[in-house]
Chains A and B, each alone.
Chain A
Amino acid sequence: MSYVLIIGAKSDIAKELARVYAKNGYNLYLAARNSDSLNDLVNDIKIRSNVDVQIKEFDIVKFETHQNFYDSLETKPLGVIVTAGYMAEQKECEKEWNKTLNTINVNYLGIISILNIVSNDMEKNKNGFIIGVSSVAGDRGRKANYIYGSSKAAFSAYLSGLRNRLYESKVQVLTVKPGFVNTKMTKDLDLPAKLTIEPEDIALDIYNAQQKGKDILYTKGIWRLIMLIIKHIPEFIFKKMSI
């Protein structure tokens, strides 16, 4: 059975995605930094499903290692899912260049570096899927988190171009734009319950959208509408707003 490679496998969404894909018979490569801490997840999946699960040490900001990393995968993955992401406080990013740089490196440059490699291979094979977990925050820059938001905007634009390029090769590119997800990352935020989704539900949403061959997934769906409205507020009004 085919392999799915999950990049950034330590996130809450990745954990649930790994379970969903394993449940549906896919073998897994779980890639992350300090990957030892993934042992519990591997054990969990092996009790749940009879699939092969392998842990791979991978650092998304060590661009120069990416080719070797990909070459070292014995069976090339049918699907690649990127859930890696870094979110620092906007105010901190404004003051500390390191945090801004890390945001751009993790959320954009690092992902592009590995996906360039992956997509060349998939294009050649005329088969496969790529899922990028971006964010609604990339749909419009807001003062509350535009450093993070702009890195996600760049990522979303990359995915849209990639989808365009790979269309002929029948490689699916799915852009996922989550709104609020109930994860470690958001635990201190006061999230409105109706707009918030649990990691296990988002994972199922993503799996279903991928299986159906979708291009863009807002999850929860209500965010498509919210972002449609936010995108259409004229700039001369938007700049005065605090949202």
Chain B
Amino acid sequence: MSLNSWGMYPLIKNKKIMFQKKEDLKNKLQESNIYIPFGNGRSYGDSALNKNIIYCKPYNYLLNFDESTGLLHCQAGIMLSEIIEIFVPKGWFLKITPGTKLITIGGAIASDVHGKNHHIEGCFSECVEEFSLMLANGEIKKCSKTNNAELFKATCGGMGLTGIILDAKISLKKINSQYIEQITIKTKNLKETFDAFEKYSNKPYSVAWIDCLAKDNEIGKCLLMVGDFENDGNLNFKSKKKLNIPFNFPSFALNKLSVKAFNWLYYRKAPNGVSKQKVDIDSFFYPLDAINNWNRIYGKAGFTQYQFILPKKTSFEGLTEILKEISNSGKGSFLAVLKLYGKENDNYLSFPIEGYSLALDFKIEKGLFELLDKLDQIVLKYNGKIYLTKDVRVSKETFEKGYPNIEKFRNLRKEYGMDKKFQSLQSLRVGI
């Protein structure tokens, strides 16, 4: 059966390998095929795609939980959504979570994902005490910051190119409520947006929704949402029922329907200035998960997400230029996510650096890749980089300039024979 990533582009036929025991997987790796691990396909692009994929999601047992420390040992196929459902009622939450809970632990490590608290807590690897990794020859290595540290640094953010993450020990964070006290700040332009981010940078969680259709002196106007867990002892968490999008929308639907709807929802509704709300975990962390298959609103051709990050010093100027370019192009992405990031870590291919990142969705259509190539040039001009887990088209040159540790990564892959065993469409394209 074929599997695709979240962007539904590209569509390729693949054969999937499932395994229940390590030995089965080891035997599979002995065959001459080339593989790439696949979690839940929530990466947007082609990082988990190839002709033969190792489908890790069914490998999903919980192995141990230490109630006194919050250390969870689990197999890598388990989804964050399950962890949340099981452990929030017990008073624990993920230390780091991306904007969707429908991903696997393996995918979270392989992309070294970040959340709304990166400026304080860093990437997912910060909560990973240890994982076991099956190498190309079937050997299993336990990796942590101190043990096999090279493999640890290469695998966190390594996009599945170092082997199969089998299981991991991750530390959860204590919470005393299923609610978050959210403060929403409505701003008029990018300057105000930046000021607001700085002003609230001591809040653990923050993220901004930018209106990409805004022009001239309204460029960069946003709703900034910051928050922290309440302390009311209410842990009565239940996942909400989801809406479903049963079919691919015709491609014209996107502009007419959703642009207006979203703008209305996110801007008109919010009161001016600063306001306070009490919201639950799902609405605060995972607003997009409320609708199943929302990727289908972009139509059959699929879509991609363009996410880049700029160093703090160049962020303001760079973002202004890029937002102008996008709003002039009139292309699809009406809604974009802006975030402030803290210090970078020393994982070889981890994405975050200290600065600001913007993520925008684009429907795949004629002229899009030309626009994105243009944006790449601006990103490079301001010393930025592109996020691999969202990418489906970046060039080798652009990629390499953003990731100075790439040679170390390549050498390690050669040393362990990983380059001959684990490849994705993306790794072939950008030459890793």
Contacts and interface: CB of A to CB of B under 8 A. Distances in A.
Nearest to A12: B58
A92 interface: no
Nearest to B85: A23
A91 interface: no
B108 to A, nearest CB: 19
Contact of B1 (A182, A184, A199): A182
Contacts of B16: 187
Given A43-B63, A47-B65, A199 B86 contact: no
Contacts of B64: 43, 47
- A interface, by DSSP: helix, strand, loop or mixed? helix
Contact of A184 (B2, B18, B62, B86): B18
Contact of B2 (A43, A187, A193): A193
Interface residues of B, number: 13
Nearest to A191: B1
A183 B65 CA distance: 27
Give the most central of A184, A187, A191, A196: most B CB within 10 Å. Answer: A187
B20 interface: yes
B62 A44 contact: yes
Nearest to B19: A184
Interface in B10-32: 16-18, 20
Interface in A139-187: 182, 184, 187
Nearest to B79: A200
Contacts of A196: 1
Contacts, number: 31
Contacts of A47: 62, 64-65, 86
Contact of B61 (A44, A184, A199): A44
A88 B214 CA distance: 62
A20 to B, nearest CB: 12
B62 A187 contact: no
Give the most central of A44, A47, A189, A196: most B CB within 10 Å. Answer: A47
Contacts of A48: 62, 86
Interface string B59-103: 001111100000000000000000000100000000000000000
A81 B346 CA distance: 51
Contacts of B2: 193
Contact of A187 (B18, B63, B86): B18
Nearest to B16: A187
A41 interface: yes
25 contacts: A12-B58, A40-B63, A43-B61, A43-B62, A43-B64, A44-B63, A47-B62, A47-B64, A47-B65, A47-B86, A48-B62, A48-B86, A182-B1, A184-B20, A187-B16, A187-B17, A187-B18, A189-B1, A190-B1, A191-B1, A192-B1, A193-B1, A193-B2, A196-B1, A199-B58
Interface of B: 1-2, 16-18, 20, 58, 61-65, 86
Interface of A: 12, 40-41, 43-44, 47-48, 182, 184, 187, 189-193, 196, 199
Question: Which 5 A-B pairs have CB atoms at the shortest separation, nearest pair first?
Answer: A44-B61, A47-B62, A191-B1, A44-B62, A187-B18
